[in-house]
Each structure stands twice: as C-alpha cells, then as structure tokens.
Structure 1
Amino acid sequence: MHTIKRRALVLTQEGAGHPFRRSLPSHVFTRPCDGEAPAEPVSRWKLSGADWRGFFSAYCLAFVAVSLFIA
C-alpha cells in the first residue's frame, strides 16, 4: 500500500537568480517598516587589553626566536 507524502508548501522568490537565494523565505528580502530603525552592524574588531597583550607577547617571542635562530 502506497502512502502519500505530504510536503510543506515552499514559496520561492522568482526574482532571485541563484538557487540558494530562491530557497530563502520571503521575509529575508523585505525591508524594515517605516517605524523600525535599521539594525546597526556588529563590529567584530573590538580588541581588549588582553588581546593586545597576547598579540605583542607573541610578536616579541617570535622576534626573539628568529633573532636567536639567525645569530
């Protein structure tokens, strides 16, 4: 006996040229409403003091190692 498979209805964006973009839901392509402020981009380049300390210690250790190898 055959069972009928139910598949979810998928609405695609006909204007999107790439197959991946066609598979995205429609709310991805809509702009925010007039009352909503656009989201601020998140900066991932915020370095703390520990980051700078780690960078400079690695730089100094590498410089000393190369200097000892050359000498």
Structure 2
Amino acid sequence: MRRALVLTDESARHPFRASLPPHVVRRANEVERMVPWRLKLGLTRKEAESVLATYAAGFVCTLAYFS
C-alpha cells in the first residue's frame, strides 16, 4: 500500500492537523458568518411570538400547579 505524500504545516501545532492537506486546513480556518437564529430557522416574527407566548403560558400554568 502506498501513501500519498502530504507536506506538513508547521503552524498547525498538532500532529493530526499538520498531516492534513492544505485545502482542508484552509476551510477549517474560515469563520462562519453569524446569522440570527430566526433566519436560520426561517421563522417570521409572528411565529416566534406565538412560540414565546405558548412557552410563557405553559410555564405560568406549571408554576401555578406546583405552588
């Protein structure tokens, strides 16, 4: 079995990361853009408000039941 020659990257500082090809390390160092959670889930403002209202109503009912 022959293994492909992979040049090590001295700036990786970890043996596994140093053995990775340059195109993999380049993608790992990119920073993902921060997107609001509502946009990731595709929720509208009305849907988010209804979820929050349902959660709050359930919390109040549970608190009233146990007190």
Q: Which runs of 4+ in 1 moved over 6 A?
A: none
Match of 2:9 in 1: 13
* Corresponding residue SS for 1:46: helix
* Corresponding residue SS for 2:2: coil
TM-score by length of 2: 0.55
Task: Give the gaps of 5 or more residues in structure 1.
Answer: 30-38
User: Of the two, which has the highest radius of gyration?
Assistant: 1
Match of 1:26 in 2: 22
Return the alpha-carbon distance in structure 2 between the equivalents of residues 64 and 19 of structure 1.
55
- The structure with the largest helix share of the pair is 2
Aligned residues: 57
Please give the per-residue CA displacement for 1:21-70, whole angstroms capped at 9, x wherever unaligned: 313321317xxxxxxxxx87141423523233213211221121111220
* Corresponding residue SS for 1:41: coil
Q: 1:66 to 1:52 in 2, by over 3 A?
A: same
Task: Give the gaps of 5 or more residues in structure 2.
Answer: none
TM-score by length of 1: 0.53
